[in-house]
Structures are given as structure tokens and as C-alpha cells.
Amino acid sequence: MRLLIIGTLCGQVGAASQIAMARGAKVNHVDTIEAGISFLRTGRGADLVLADVQEDIAALIGGLEAERISIPVVACGIGNDTQAAVRAIKAGAKEYIPLPPDAELIGAVLTAVAEENTDFIFTDARMKEVIKLADQVAPSNASILITGPSGTGKEMMARYLHMKSKRREGPFIAVNCAAIPENLLESELFGHEKGAFTGAIARRIGKFDEANAGTILLDEITEMEPRMQAKLLRVIQEREIDRVGSNKPVKIDVRILATSNRNIEEHVASGGFREDLYFRLNVMNLAIPPLKERPDDVIALARHFAVKYAEANGMPARPLSEETQTKLLGYSWPGNVRELENAIHRAILLSTGDVIGPEAILLSDSPLAPGSAAAANTATGSDAQNMVGKTVSEVERELIINTLGHCLGNRTHAANILGISIRTLRNKLKQYNQDGFNVPSVGGAVVNRPLV
């Protein structure tokens, strides 16, 4: 665990550092937000940022987003400064820790961050075979291609391989190749020199440099453009990178893992992905089956998520009723583990009894889901039919407002379920309000009507 502390923490930097180091964290400290972003830009990296609440937390979150640095931020301040705590959470901080620092609280935050990145729950025989193979190949330096449908846990598998490897003490750096524009991906991966292009105001260390002596995950690599595929092939062959704007190659020591939700052989055959790069990456293939082919994992994962989100929301842990388990097992889970996690998160927020009943499990209509609304109610048709004639923005608006309604107006819960940042959600809700649409307030009634 790498921890970066920003600010004075009201004179408690030393105490917080000692607590974190006693829990096994490697701690660095800078005085200002600008210094913190500069530190992260150089590639030294962090898994968690602990920031003084007196600093501009919104500017810190915005700066990290602008640099495409994905790191959770926890704010710290004197215990009775509730207004500052609320501002920090609204700005995007994950948690607020009162000062002076409490050893158990800081330890719990560090543990939560570590567990969020390494949890891998499985009981099904098919997954046991995949894990057995992963355990065999993890200690090597071989490149591994992890394949499977979206939401099956490919990134979790990559983190598992890293923690089981000889590089576990080194950094694990994940890059979503599909989320970064082509004109920025080269700089993101390999770094750039100051003045290399318009906007390059300082030298930037790339993700390969940052992952040195560790592991880099190239997530959804099959979305990478052909020009970048050629550059990546050279990096794998030569074990060196060229920063944008530099003519001096930099040697690297990095293990490469890659994921894809495509049928890569078909993608190669169609010319969308280089065959030579595919063979370089596919020294070993770990194929994660969809959740519908791992029925024994459904209940195990559901129980895990029920405990996780009960704790996260300060709510009592409730068991899954027998009827609920039957309902979960009767659904096809087209969104795989990610959809199951969202369903259980919603159920935790909606449950009121001593158990999580089937009425709290809200599932997407699907002709593949036995007992679903689409299967049972042919008069209304499927969700896809109901969307015909609507624009993408209208469908998005309906999804966001209905999800917020199910969360009783809680913005944070809704953003987590939707998979978007709280800032993005707030901006969209502000626009919906301005456009005259009813947006549920905190504690408001569930919105389940279609918008017109």
C-alpha cells in the first residue's frame, strides 16, 4: 500500500504516517495540492491520498481527473469541522477522517482500499479450475491474456495474478485502453517531455515507467488503434519505451497483463488486431466464464456483496431469504458479477425487514431471465422495444432519475450503482432540474414511471 499525504493535517502528519507505516504502508508527504499532483505525475504513484481538508479538495479531485490519475482521496480534519467534511465528500472524497488520527480508523481505511482491489470470491468448480491455472502461471514473468465477457472480474483476476507473483511488492498499474483518446494514449503509456506537444507543460512519466519492477494491466487492449499496437509490439520485443518528444529510449522491467471482452481470434482475422501482438501477449490465456455458467458463485458473491454494502452504508447485515436465493439463481445475469453487485447494493438500500426478500431484488427486464418482467408481461414488450423512438440522452435521463429514486434520493449510492462519479451525477441532475424534470430529493419517493 502506497500512501500520499497532502498538507499539514493540522500538525498530525507524523502521527498519521506512523500509524500507516505500522500497518505496512509506504508513506510520502507533500505540502500542497500542486506538489501532490506533480509527485504523482512523475510516476512514483500512490494507492491512496490522505488530504488535509483545509486544502482545496475539489481542486485536487479535478486535478487528478485532468491528469487521468485514478486514486481514491480521503480527507482529514479536526473532528468538529462538519461543514468542511461535507464539502470534501461533495467534492469527491471517499471518506472523512477526524483528527487527531485514530489508529483503528486509519487501519480500516487502508484495509478497505486493499480489499477493494484484491477481493476474489469464488466457489464454483469452473472458477476453481481457472484459479488453479492462475496460481500455476502467476509466479512467472510471462504475459497473460485474460478474456471473458464484461463484468466477469477480469481486472480482479489481473490483481490476483500480481499479488501471487514475485512482483507483488512492486506497483500494479491499470490502464483502460478504451477510455483514453488515441491522441493521448501514447503519452499516457510512455510519458512525454516538457514541450513535446501543446499542453505538455511539464515532463510526465508514463504508466510503463510507473509500473517498473511491477505489473501493468492493459485493460480492453483490443480497443487500441493499429498505430499504438505497433508501438506496443516494439515495447514488448525491446523492453524499452520512447517518451513522446525524446530520442533516448528508456529500459523497463514490467510484466504485461492484458484483458479483452472480444473474441480475439475473430478480431485478428478481421484485421482489427495485429496477429503478432496477439501471439506476444497470449503466452497464456485465462478465460473467465460468464456468471450464468458459474451458478455456485451467484449466492457466494451475493452474500459477500450484502455484507460489504451493509457495512459501507452503516446498515445491519441481513441474510438472503430462500426465495431471494431462488430468484437470484433463476436469472441469467447478462451483466455478470457487476450486475449482481449492483442488484445487491440496491437491495441493501431497499430492504426493511430482518432478511433481504425477493421484492428488494430489482432485475433488468430480459427475455433471457426466467420470471423477469419481460418474460412474464408480453403486453408491454421488452426494454429494448420500449426504448425505440427515444434518444440516447432520454434513455440516460430515465435511467439516472429512476436509479436515484430507488436510492431514495441518495446521490452517492446512485452514482455507485450507475458507475459514474458523484460530480458527473450532480452535473446531470442540475441540467435535468433546469430542463424542468422532477429529480428525487434525499428521502424522496421512489420514481418508477417512464419519463415523457
Q: How far is CA 75 from the centre of its chain?
A: 20
Residues 81, 88: Cα–Cα separation, whole Å: 11
Q: What does the DSSP 8-state code read for residue 165?
A: S
Q: 119-123, 254-258, 408-412: which range is least confident on average?
A: 408-412
Q: 52-56, 83-87, 146-150, 411-415: which range is least confident on average?
A: 411-415
pLDDT of residue 367: 35
CA atoms within 13 A on the CB side of 278: 18
> What is 125-289's CATH topology?
Rossmann fold (3.40.50)
What are the C-alpha distances in Å from 11 to residues 33, 35, 185? 17, 18, 40
pLDDT of residue 119: 62
Report pLDDT digits (tens) over 85-104: 888 888 888 888 888 888 88
| Topology alike, domains 125-289 and 292-434 | no
Please check the confidence at residue 377 and state whether its pLDDT lies above 70.
no
Residues 328, 301: Cα–Cα separation, whole Å: 11
At 116, is the pLDDT very low, low, confident or very high (cuts 50, 70, 90)?
low
Q: Which numeric CATH code is attached to 2-118?
A: 3.40.50.2300
**Which top CATH class is 292-434?**
mainly alpha
Residue 151 dihedral angles phi and psi, to the nearest 5°: 85, 5
> Domain segments of the chain: what residues?
2-118, 125-289, 292-434
Report pLDDT digits (tens) over 294-333: 999 999 999 999 998 888 777 888 999 999 999 999 999 9
3-state secondary structure of 242: coil
Kindly report the pTM of this predicted structure.
Answer: 0.65
Q: Which residues contact 291 (CB under 8 A, 6 or more apart)?
A: 151, 152, 297, 298, 301, 333, 336, 337, 340
Residues 61, 433: Cα–Cα separation, whole Å: 25
At 451, is the pLDDT very low, low, confident or very high (cuts 50, 70, 90)?
very low
